[in-house]
Amino acid sequence: MPLPARSTRASAKDAINAALDLFHRRWTLRILWELRGDPLTFRQLQAACGDLSASVLNQRLAELREALLLEHNPAAGGYALSAHGRELLIAFEPLLQWSVPWAAAVARSRR
């Protein structure tokens, strides 16, 4: 039996709010972005993220594993995006396409 429309809207609202809360945490999106290619070890990921402290990285990695966006497999090279994480990067593709001309426009406006 399908859910009533109101429950579906509430469920979707709860889902997007949970995702936005996760993405809002500092370094979360950067970590996901850095893992878009091959798996990275903890140290490689920390270096890719610049000045990210080990304690914050540990916390974010735990949150992202709990959110089913990352997998940790030392034998395979370290941390990697899960199937859900790879789907998220596909969903971010329009943002990536938008960001290139936007960044160019911002750079031109600063000249």
* pTM of the predicted structure, to 2 decimals: 0.83
Give the Cα separation of 2 and 25 in Å (integer).
34
Tens-place pLDDT, residues 32-75:
999 999 999 999 999 999 979 999 999 999 999 999 999 999 88
Give the Cα separation of 51 and 46 in Å (integer).
8
Q: Are 105 and 68 in contact (CB under 8 A)?
A: no
pLDDT bucket at 7, cuts 50 / 70 / 90: low
**pLDDT of 97 over the 70 cut:** yes
- The yes/no answer on whether domain 26-109 falls in CATH 1.10.10.10 is yes
Q: Are 23 and 69 in contact (CB under 8 A)?
A: no
Q: Locate the domains of the chain by residue range.
A: 26-109
**pLDDT at position 74:** 87
Q: Give alpha helix (H) positions in the chain.
A: 5-24, 28-34, 42-48, 54-66, 83-109
